[in-house]
Every structure is written in structure tokens, then in C-alpha cells.
Amino acid sequence: MLTLYHYVPVANGGKVLMALHEKGIAFDSRWIDLHTFQQHSPEYLAVNPEGQVPALMHDGVIITHTSVINEYLEDAFPDTPPLRPEEPLVAARMRQWNKYIDDYVMQAVSIHGWQNGAGKIARGYSDEAFEALMARIPLKQQQVKWRTARAGFPQEKLDECSQTIAEAVAKVEAQLAESGGPWLLGEMFTLADINFYAYCGGALATMFPRIGNRETCPLLLDWAARIEKRPGCARALATKAPA
């Protein structure tokens, strides 16, 4: 019995939803609304004491952190379509990409996301209501992030993140040229494709049109369109809040 606690099918949530649907693994979907801070509710903290989504519950045991969850799905469901290469060297390349994406790209996109998304949410609360919400957040660094987003990140930090994103886009464009496509590592669609799409590639042209456009990264945009046509990914990306 598998339950995924998640929010919208982009970034962290998209990453695990795409893997689950690509592998055709059945699961219960539990929507955790970040707009109303459900991730810090006592009910959800009983599921994941760190108060973060997504989290996967498998037979009553909780697994957290998207790259860990996605490798777990590979290990625990060996009879489903693989998203991790069998060949050790190609698996290592996939993990190098995942580390780069998790450590640099995700952070950089996330700060723009926090500035525009979480910042707006946070400014919608009075000082008192906001502080009450902060008091429920178990991870101190998450409190710092919410406070910074509410105040607004310095322009210098936002510029530095845009620069990181531009470098990542150039790197992926070069990799697609080198691998010959259709996917980052060549013939096989892997967790690295899912990872870059979820954090950056999918929203690139709308979130950062000056960085990601047909002049700067035609191969990347074609790659993103191919991902959206995959039945598993399309199903994941169509995930909606319960009515």
C-alpha cells in the first residue's frame, strides 16, 4: 500500500509523481496544500515530522527526499519500467546529474519560486498570523526561508540564481547535443530527465523566457515537449487538487 503526500505536480512534487506514473505504480494521492500551510499541521507532522512534501508512505513506513524516494522506487519495484540505468557507469552519470540538479539548479529556481510564490503567500498574512504559522515549522532553515521570502530576496541573490540557471541551461543544451538525444543520457529516459524537467526544464520558457527560448536552447525545448508527450509524464503533470 503506497500513499504519496504532495502538492502541485511541479518541482519536488512533480519529480515523484512523474516517476510513479512512468513506472505505472498504483498509489493513493493525498493533496497537502502549501498555500494554507497544511504541511505544518499536526496531522501532517504525524506523517512527516520534518513538515515537508512530498513524502511517500509504503506499508506504513515513511520515505522522504525526492531523489531518495525515486531511487527507492527503482529498488522496491524492480518489475516496473526502469528509470535508472543498469550499466554502472551510466547510473553514475545519472547520479552526477541528479546531484548537480539537486544542489545547484533546484536551489536557484527555488529562490525565484520562493520570491514570487511563497513571498506572495507570506505577505498575504498579518504579522501575527505569519508568526503563528512560523512557530509550527519544525526545520529552522525553512523558517529562515519563509521569513526571507516574505521580506524579499536581495536583487544580487536573484541575479546570482539567474546566472546559475543560465549555466545549467547551457550545460543541458550541450549534453543533449553530445548524447544525440532523445534524452539527457541518450536512448534511455531516466531520473535525470525527470529531475531537470521538474525543477527547471518544464517551466523554463514561461518562468525565465530570457534564459530559455528557441535562440538559447532549441534542443532543450524540444526535449521538454517530448517529455510532456510521454503518457506517464502527461498523467503526472495533469494531477489536480481534489475538488
- Chain residues in the site for a second copy (CB under 8 A): 58, 61, 63-65, 67-69, 71-72, 75-76, 88-89, 91-92, 95-96, 99, 103
Nearer to a second copy by C-beta: 190 or 239?
190
Nearer to a second copy by C-beta: 22 or 239?
22
Structural contact between residues 24 and 232, judged by C-beta atoms closer than 8 angstroms: yes
Nearer to a second copy by C-beta: 82 or 182?
82
**Smallest distance from a second copy to CB 103, Å:** 8
138 burial (CB, 10 Å; 0-12 / 13-18 / 19+) is: middle
**Smallest distance from a second copy to CB 65, Å:** 6
d(CA 43, CA 112): 29
d(CA 226, CA 207): 19
Nearer to a second copy by C-beta: 66 or 239?
66
Torsion of CA 21, 170, 207, 219, to 10 degrees: -60
What angle (nearest 5°) sits at the alpha carbon of residue 200, between those of residues 87 and 95? 20
**Smallest distance from a second copy to CB 120, Å:** 27
**Smallest distance from a second copy to CB 31, Å:** 23
